[in-house]
Amino acid sequence: MVKKIKEFTKVIKALTELALEIGTLVAIIKMILESL
């Protein structure tokens, strides 16, 4: 049970990092498009 929770936490952390990276990319793309 504890092992599953730890794995779940790892997945959540990975997804959070991915979401942050995507959010950053989207923000950069928006800035580039607005400056065109």
pLDDT at 1: 80
Enter the pTM of the model: 0.67
pLDDT at 10: 98
Each domain of the chain, given as residue ranges in start order, spans: 1-36
Ordered per-residue pLDDT tens for the chain, 36 residues: 899 999 999 999 999 999 999 999 999 999 999 998
pLDDT at 17: 98
d(CA 27, CA 20): 10
